[in-house]
Amino acid sequence: MSKYQNAIEIRNLGKRFKDTPAVQDFSITVAPGRVVGFLGPNGAGKTTTIKMLMDLLRADTGTISLLGLDPTEVATAIRARVGYVPEQQNAPRWMRVAEAISFCRTFYPTWDDNLCDQLIRLFSLDPSKKIQSLSKGTKVKLTLLLALAHRPELLVLDEPMAGLDPLIREELVDGILQTASDHPRTILFSSHTFADVQRLADEVVIIHEGRLLAQSPVDDLLAKTKRIRSVLTDGAEPQKNPKGTIWQQRSGREWLVTVNEFSQDTIDSLKAGTDLENIEVIDLSLEEIFKDFIRGQRSELCA
């Protein structure tokens, strides 16, 4: 039985840089043991949110709870229970791999030497190598090892796989999956690689311009978000968008509408409101759903 109801709880979070809002009234909850993909375009507020989670930035408004604790009050206690891999790796360049491991080991009473050795082998790390001589991908592997070897209750990953080749990415995903199956933990990770998200995540959070657009289990999002293609009879204007519309586009007589919470009622309401022909319901990939959420927001701004 967990000691806390939610591993992550964010309420009405806000952060501005001068006159520019980076995160706006952002709220999510993540139950213990869930793996959450954090999705958003560049500049959407993902890294800012993660830095506030890790108490590297202070929020202007709102509250954060990690593992039932306030990170602004007990940051040291939380860091002992959280593994964190930032976008930019910052292990001391002059150290050797073995020295970095020995240094970090002293901070964590839960450090697992057997797991550390397994990850060294899994990631093909050479303990004698200096960090400054490592490739970008190998530095990420080392940082992930340091984040995992103390068996954290929560693992936070800020786009660690950005710019890495597919083989390195696969090794990192394998490492995350292996340790997660051996020792269930909560994982929050941001990524632009939808294949990684679909392979790892139980649910996704979509953020745009600092605001929450969606939080949903991946399977539910894929099952309930559909694109409807139809032909407008005699080119008539659509009377209204169906409930749950996240994006729509008209091109000549063709009308495309993407809705979440799709059901037969969606089709019935479309037919009742507009003269349509050739209605087709289309399944979407996670990447297509993400793009339609963002397109819908951008078209609203331009309207």
pTM: 0.90
Q: Who's near 54: CB < 8 A, 6+ residues apart?
A: 71, 79, 82, 84, 156
Q: Cα–Cα distances in Å, from 44 out to 26, 92, 131, 156, 192? A: 12, 30, 31, 17, 12
Which two structure tokens, joined as six digits, stand for 237?
Answer: 């204007």
Taking only the tens place, the pLDDT of each residue in 225-271 is: 999 998 888 766 666 788 889 999 888 888 899 999 898 888 887 77
| Nearest alpha carbon to residue 67 among 111, 7, 124 | 7
Q: What is the identity of the amino acid at 246?
A: I
Strand 61-66: give its sheet, edge to edge: 20-30, 8-17, 61-66
Taking only the tens place, the pLDDT of each residue in 33-57 is: 999 999 999 999 999 999 999 999 9
CA–centroid distance for 252 within its chain = 37
Determine phi and psi for 57, rounding to 5 degrees. Answer: -135, 145
| Measured distance between the N- and C-terminal CA atoms of the chain, rounded to whole angstroms | 49
pLDDT at 302 over 60: no
pLDDT at 108 over 70: yes
Is there a contact between 154 and 68 (Cβ–Cβ < 8 Å)? no
Q: What is the pLDDT of residue 66?
A: 94
Taking only the tens place, the pLDDT of each residue in 168-197 is: 888 888 888 777 767 778 999 998 888 888
Greatest mean pLDDT among 2-6, 15-19, 261-265: 15-19
Q: What is the pLDDT of residue 195?
A: 85
Q: What is the pLDDT of residue 218?
A: 96
Q: Cα–Cα distances in Å, from 71 out to 5, 56, 274? A: 16, 10, 52
Is there a contact between 64 and 9 (Cβ–Cβ < 8 Å)? yes
Determine phi and psi for 108, rounding to 5 degrees. Answer: -125, 110
pLDDT at 77 over 70: yes
Q: What is the pLDDT of residue 64?
A: 95
Euclidean distance between CA atoms 200 and 70, whole angstroms? 27
Average the pLDDT over each of 32-41, 65-74, 108-117, 273-282 and give the range with the smallest value. 273-282
- Return mean pLDDT, the chain: 88
Is there a contact between 236 and 274 (Cβ–Cβ < 8 Å)? yes
Euclidean distance between CA atoms 41 and 276, whole angstroms? 34
Q: Specify the pairing of strand 61-66 against strand 226-232.
A: unpaired
